[in-house]
C-alpha cells in the first residue's frame, strides 16, 4: 500500500503522539508491513482495527507499551521479552523451556495472540486487542536486548550517550534510531514513514533484495513457537556479535555515540527491515487462514 503525501499529511495529524524499538522502531516496522501485505490482508486488518487509513498498523504499533504499566495492562509486562539465560559473548542462545517465564514471554505471546486472531468466534474487541499485541510483539522479538537476560536486557548496564548517562537498553531502543534519523521533534510518525519507505525500497530492489527472500522461510501458523523461536535466536545471536562482543563488563560507562553507534546502525536497520517484512507475511497468513483463502504465495 503506497502513501500519498496528502494522506500522510492529514493522517499523521490524527495519530497518537509518541516520544520516541522505542516508538520509532515499532512504528517503522508497522509501516514496512503495510507496504508489503496483500490488499485483502490490509482490508481484513483495517476491519479488525476499525481504521481504514494507511496508518491502521502504525497507529496501534506502540499500544502494547502504553498499557503495560497500567493497572489493567500489567498482566502483559512479561510478554515483551524472553530472558535468554546464556553467557554472552562466550555463548548466546535462547531455550523456550528454560527462558520463558511461567506467566508468558514474547514467544508464547505471539502464539497466544495469533491463535486468538484465528478464532473467529471471539468477540471483535478481543481480536482487536490480539492484533495490536501481535503487531507489537513481532517488533519486540527482533530487538536483541528483548531476548537477553543479562542485566535485565541491558537495563542495568549504565553507559554514556553524548556524555549523558543512559542504560544500554535505551541506547538500542531509542538513542541509536533517533541519531540515525536526526531530530524528530515529537514527530515519530513522519520520521518512521520516511525510514520505512527507505527500508522498503532496500527490500524490493536494494541491499536486502536477495536476502529478504529467505526471511520468511519456515513461517508456520501450525507451530508459532518454533517460528518465533527462530526469530528469537537470530536476534539473540547479535548480543554476542554486536551488543557486547567483548562482554557486558567492558561496556559499562563507555561512550557509545561514536564507533559503537557506527557498528550498531546496520544491525538495527536490518532487524527493523526483517521485522516489518515478517510481520507482513505473518498477517497475510492469519488473514488467509481466518478467511479460508489460499496459503501465502512464494513471493509477497
The domain locations on the chain are 5-291
Q: Quick check: is 242 catalytic?
A: no
User: With 70 as the cut, is the pLDDT of residue 68 above it?
Assistant: yes
The reply to whether 80 belongs to the active site is: yes
Name the residue among 244, 170, 272, 189 with its Cα closest to residue 16: 189
Annotated catalytic residue 158: no
Q: Is 5-291 CATH 1.10.1740.10?
A: no
Q: Residue 2 to residues 55, 68, 267: CA-CA distances in angstroms? A: 11, 32, 26
Q: Using DSSP, state whether 248 is helix, strand or coil.
A: helix
What pLDDT does 222 receive? 95
DSSP string covering 111-123: HHHHHHHH-TTS-
> Is residue 296 scored above 90 in pLDDT?
no
Q: 117-151, pLDDT tens digit by residue?
A: 999 999 999 999 999 999 999 999 999 999 999 99
Q: Does the active-site annotation cover 21?
A: yes
Per-residue model confidence (pLDDT) at position 184: 67
Tens digit of each residue's pLDDT (9 = 90 or more) over 82-91: 999 999 999 9
- Please identify which of the residues 83, 86, 99, 173 carries the catalytic annotation: 173
292: pLDDT strictly greater than 50: yes
Task: Please indicate whether residue 52 is annotated as part of the active site.
Answer: no
Which candidate in 21, 161, 172, 282 is catalytic?
21
Torsion of CA 12, 13, 18, 21, to 10 degrees: 0
Average pLDDT score over residue span 259-283: 98
* 140 included as an active-site residue: yes
Active site residue 68: yes
Q: Is the pLDDT of residue 7 over 60?
A: no
Average pLDDT on 19-48 reads 91
First-to-last alpha carbon distance for the chain, in angstroms, is: 12
Percentages helix, strand, coil for the chain (3-state, rounded to 5) are 60, 5, 35
To the query of whether residue 170 is one of the catalytic residues in this protein, the response is: no
Largest CA distance in the chain: 55
- Structural contact between residues 143 and 172, judged by C-beta atoms closer than 8 angstroms: yes
* CA atoms of 297 and 285, how far apart (whole Å): 9
Residues 200-226, mean pLDDT to the nearest whole number = 97
Amino acid at each position: 500500500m503506497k502513501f500519498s503525501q496528502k494522506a500522510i499529511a492529514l493522517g499523521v495529524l490524527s495519530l497518537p503522539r509518541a516520544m520516541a524499538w522505542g516508538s520509532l522502531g515499532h512504528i517503522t516496522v508497522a509501516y514496512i508491513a503495510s507496504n508489503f501485505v496483500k490488499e485483502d490482508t490490509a482490508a481484513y486488518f483495517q476491519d479488525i482495527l476499525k481504521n481504514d487509513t494507511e496508518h491502521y498498523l502504525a497507529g496501534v504499533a506502540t499500544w502494547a507499551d502504553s498499557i503495560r504499566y497500567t493497572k489493567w495492562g500489567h498482566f502483559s509486562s512479561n510478554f515483551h521479552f524472553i530472558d535468554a539465560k546464556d553467557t554472552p559473548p562466550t555463548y548466546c542462545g535462547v531455550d523456550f523451556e528454560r527462558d520463558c517465564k511461567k506467566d508468558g514471554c514474547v514467544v508464547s505471546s505471539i502464539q497466544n495472540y495469533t491463535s486468538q486472531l484465528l478464532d473467529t468466534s471471539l468477540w471483535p474487541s478481543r481480536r482487536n486487542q490480539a492484533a495490536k499485541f501481535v503487531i507489537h510483539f513481532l517488533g519486540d522479538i527482533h530487538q536483541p536486548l528483548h531476548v537477553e537476560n543479562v542485566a535485565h536486557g541491558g537495563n542495568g548496564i549504565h553507559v554514556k550517550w553524548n556524555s549523558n548517562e543512559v542504560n544500554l537498553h535505551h541506547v538500542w531502543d531509542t538513542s541509536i534510531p533517533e541519531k540515525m534519523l536526526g531530530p524528530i521533534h515529537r514527530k515519530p510518525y513522519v520520521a518512521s514513514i520516511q525510514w520505512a519507505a527507505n527500508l522498503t525500497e532496500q527490500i524490493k530492489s536494494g541491499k536486502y533484495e536477495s536476502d529478504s527472500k529467505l526471511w520468511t522461510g519456515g513461517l508456520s501458523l501450525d507451530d508459532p513457537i518454533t517460528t518465533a523461536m527462530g526469530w528469537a535466536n537470530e536476534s539473540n545471536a547479535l548480543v554476542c556479535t554486536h551488543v557486547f562482543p567483548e562482554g557486558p563488563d567492558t561496556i559499562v560507562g563507555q561512550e557509545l555515540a561514536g564507533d559503537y553507534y557506527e557498528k550498531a546502525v546496520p544491525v538495527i536497520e536490518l532487524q527493523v527491515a526483517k521485522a516489518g517484512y515478517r510481520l507482513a507475511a505473518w498477517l497475510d497468513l492469519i488473514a488467509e487462514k481466518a478467511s479460508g483463502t489460499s496459503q501465502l504465495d512464494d513471493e509477497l
